[in-house]
Amino acid sequence: MGSTIIGTGSYLPEKILTNADLEKMVDTSDEWIVTRTGIKERRICSENMSSSDLGVEAAKKAILDAGISADEIEMIICATITSDMPFPSTACIIQSKLGLDNIACFDISSACSGFIYGLELARSFTNNGCYRKILVIAAECMSRVTDYTDRSTCVLLGDGAAAAIVSHSGDTDGIIDSYLGSSGKYGNLLYIPAGGSKLPASHETVSNHLHFMKMEGSAVFKIAVNAMSSAIKKIFERNNIHAEDISLLIPHQANIRIIQGVARSMGVPMEKVFVNIEKYGNMSAASVGVALDEAVKAGRIHKGDLVCMVSFGAGLTWASNLIRWNKDD
């Protein structure tokens, strides 16, 4: 018994926020942003859209790519830190918008690692035979939690969604293994202070911009490189894999220097690393999922290829997995 990805999809809002646009909003420059992050533009959802809307569009594409009917889906797992509302879950909202009913639905909050966490949950559920087809979605409206007066963070974030259909499989190809990790002691390095039960919304929290993302950039940078490299090393060792065995490394798209640092640390040439950060910035949980879908659609992944994905995010969390791609081109 095994689990395999039979379809992928992604959705990016039409509106583009360029570095030139940000130059008019905060004290920054295109050269400063590109040099330090590798980002040139990012997508921003319209005022009438939410994370569930982005997720629905990505899900429709994944269902079409898988060649299945939506009513074959038995569970929806949604990875998001920008849920439509505290409850119900964004997964349940997506379920309703897809016209589905009476299936298991829940959200997970693992920030940028959410898509890989979601794939591993789906692998576990399909491996034990309880469910045959699971829809994994990562949907984020990061622009809603971005402080556009803070030049250190507003240049980083964008909106988007990705989806994958994970199916029960009769062979051992597909999602081979996953490594998940976290360290809550670093939670204060990357977080949103208000909006929960500790600091519910008030005039003070709003006026002090406490509903926006806060980050200690230099500290997060150092931990990210080490944690992502360690996650790759552990998944390699556990499966007797070496860097040269990998057809493609798909890292979280947070900062081009982090990506380059991880690739260098693991001995993976940049030609084997998928990068799209220049177009979208950091979309939290959606980043690695969108990258996977784009890599497949661009012909960077073929049947039989060994793919490694790795992420790092708030929590702090990190995750990696190995996939033997067994979907026909």
Residue 131 included in any domain: yes
The DSSP call for residue 316 is: T
**Residue 214 φ/ψ, nearest 5 degrees:** -120, 140
Predicted pLDDT of residue 298: 97
Number of domains in the chain: 2
Closest to 190 measured CA to CA, from 167, 157, 162: 157
Residue 285 included in any domain: yes
Q: Which of 252, 255, 308, 321 is catalytic?
A: 252
Pick the last residue of a domain from 130, 155, 172. Answer: 172
- Residue 1 clears pLDDT 80, i.e. is over it: no
Distance (Å, whole) CA 136 – CA 321: 15
Q: 159 Cβ partners below 8 Å, 6+ apart?
A: 12, 13, 42, 43, 44, 45, 54, 140, 141, 142, 143, 283, 286
| DSSP string computed for 245-311 | G-SEEEE--S-HHHHHHHHHHHT--GGGB---HHHH-B-TTHHHHHHHHHHHHTT---TT-EEEEEE
Predicted pLDDT of residue 49: 97
Residues 193 and 139 in one domain: no
Give the percent of the chain with pLDDT over 90.
96
Residue 329 included in any domain: no
Predicted pLDDT of residue 249: 98
* Structural domain containing residue 235: 176-324
Determine how β-strand 174-182 pairs with β-strand 190-191: unpaired
pLDDT in tens, 246-265: 999 999 999 999 999 999 99
> Does residue 112 contact residue 312 with C-beta atoms inside 8 Å?
yes
Residue 9 included in any domain: yes
Predicted pLDDT of residue 329: 80
Residue 307 included in any domain: yes
Residue 187 included in any domain: yes
216-240: average pLDDT: 97
Residue 121 included in any domain: yes
**Can 239 be counted among the known catalytic residues?**
no
Closest to 140 measured CA to CA, from 44, 266, 32: 44
Residues 147 and 40 in one domain: yes
Pick the last residue of a domain from 140, 172, 204. Answer: 172
Tally of CB atoms within 10 A around 217: 14
Residues 160 and 184 in one domain: no
pLDDT band at 128 (very low <50, low <70, confident <90, very high): confident
Closest to 83 measured CA to CA, from 12, 145, 16: 145
- Residue 268 clears pLDDT 90, i.e. is over it: yes
Please, is 24 exposed, middle or buried when counting C-beta atoms within 10 Å of its C-beta (0-12, 13-18, 19+)? exposed
Predicted pLDDT of residue 129: 85
Distance (Å, whole) CA 89 – CA 182: 23
pLDDT band at 172 (very low <50, low <70, confident <90, very high): confident
- Report the half-sphere exposure of 291 (CA within 13 A, side-chain side): 31
**Can 203 be counted among the known catalytic residues?**
no
Q: Which of 45, 78, 105, 112 is catalytic?
A: 112
Residues 18 and 144 in one domain: yes
> Does residue 3 contact residue 167 with C-beta atoms inside 8 Å?
yes
**Look-up: residue for tokens 């806060």?**
214
Residues 199 and 145 in one domain: no
276-280: average pLDDT: 98
Distance (Å, whole) CA 220 – CA 23: 25
Mean pLDDT (the chain, rounded): 97
Geometric angle at alpha carbon 264, from 300 and 219, rounded to 5°: 110
Weakest-pLDDT range from 40-54, 160-174, 179-193, 311-325: 160-174
Structure tokens, 299: 């012909």
Residues 154 and 302 in one domain: no
Q: Which of 45, 154, 255, 282 is catalytic?
A: 282
Residues 17 and 115 in one domain: yes
> Does residue 261 contact residue 246 with C-beta atoms inside 8 Å?
no
- Return the CATH number at 77: 3.40.47.10
Residues 15 and 152 in one domain: yes
Residues 128 and 260 in one domain: no
Residues 224 and 316 in one domain: yes
Pick the last residue of a domain from 172, 196, 223. Answer: 172
pLDDT band at 169 (very low <50, low <70, confident <90, very high): confident
- Report the half-sphere exposure of 209 (CA within 13 A, side-chain side): 10
Closest to 117 measured CA to CA, from 319, 325, 322: 319
Residues 137 and 25 in one domain: yes
Residues 150 and 185 in one domain: no
Classify each residue of 43-77 as buried b or exposed e, where b means 16 or more C-beta atoms within 10 Å of its C-beta: bbbeeeebbbbbbbbbbbbbbebbebeeeebbbbb
**Can 252 be counted among the known catalytic residues?**
yes
Predicted pLDDT of residue 178: 97
